[in-house]
Amino acid sequence: MTHVLIGLVGAGIGQSHSPLLHQREADRHGIRLIYTTIDSQALGLRAADLPDVLRWARALGYRGLNITHPFKQQIVDHLDQLSAEARALGAVNTVVFDDDTTTGHNTDAYGFQRAFAEEFPDAPRRHVVQLGAGGAGSAVAHAMLGLGAEHLTVVDVDPGRALILADRLGPRVSIASPAGVSDLLATADGVINATPIGMDHHPGSPVAAADLRAGMWVADVVYRPADTALLRAARAVGAPTLPGVPMSVYQAVAAFELFTGRSADPGAMFADSAELVRAGH
């Protein structure tokens, strides 16, 4: 493979560093890679438009698409087949076109699991509270159970969505109302933000500063900006923090391999990511 065309579909993705991250890794392999952004906010696209997006991407010669908020779950029904992990999670962040087949994959769970294992190897995980049960939340919950969480409580503004996720993942997962978050966090070992709150176009923090304490760890899947309001508040009280950048890089490593068939260099992609963050991408 000497050239490849891929894209990112999502809302508010104009400042995403995914295009340059993939393009720089492709350059190291001698691959001419063009990575476009298909911003649903800018183009007025909705979930109902996803079949057209897939059809046009294939017609235009795309090798595949990365899928991000808010379409990771909605895209599932429009694909020909799913990888085992994507099927288990009910969410897709990477679509690959092969001949006449569209295959959905999920590299988010791998990204979070590897980032957590490297950054928080000794973090307690008897009881973890996760905010968000959407596409990213599904992957993170799956990863957290694989990391040995004894119990995971999922909180979402949509209780039905949280219940579907808990039913899919089994008895170690329960759900709770947003109204009860303060009580949950008072005894939790850690909290994960898997909501869009904190992103550039969803500013703020999903956790009240008064609910944070030094005795808990805090992870955020948001990587743009790299330093969110939640992470700053957690550091202010002495809580260990895991930003979203490592997860974003590791999921990109896996996605790059799906798109190109080449093994990516995580170290080089981390260096690229750090440079792009510093440059404001």
pLDDT, tens digit (0-9, with 9 covering 90-100), for 114-169? 999 999 999 999 999 999 999 999 999 999 999 999 999 999 999 999 999 999 99
Q: Check whether 281 has a pLDDT greater than 60.
A: no
pLDDT, tens digit (0-9, with 9 covering 90-100), for 6-60? 999 999 898 888 999 999 999 999 999 999 999 999 999 999 999 999 999 999 9
Q: Which amino acid is at 85?
A: E
pLDDT, tens digit (0-9, with 9 covering 90-100), for 98-112? 988 999 999 999 999
Q: Check whether 2 has a pLDDT greater than 80.
A: no
Q: Check whether 4 has a pLDDT greater than 90.
A: yes
User: Which range has the worst mean pLDDT, 193-197, 239-243, 275-279?
Assistant: 275-279
Neighbours of 189 (CB within 10 A): 17
Which two three-digit tokens encode residue 76?
Answer: 């599932």
Contact by Cβ (8 Å): 69, 135: yes
Which two three-digit tokens encode residue 169?
Answer: 């993942």
- How would residue 201 be classed by pLDDT, with cut points 50, 70 and 90? confident
Catalytic residue among 17, 63, 69, 72: 72
Choice between 224 and 170, residue whose per-residue pLDDT is larger: 170
- pLDDT number for residue 56: 96
- How would residue 182 be classed by pLDDT, with cut points 50, 70 and 90? very high
| pTM (global) more than 0.75 | yes
What is the pairing mode between strands 94-98 and 101-105? antiparallel
Contact by Cβ (8 Å): 226, 32: no
Q: Check whether 1 has a pLDDT greater than 70.
A: no
For residue 76, give the DSSP letter.
G
- Is there a catalytic annotation at residue 71? no
Percentage of the chain beyond pLDDT 70 is 99
List CB contacts of 77: < 8 A, sequence separation 6 or more: none
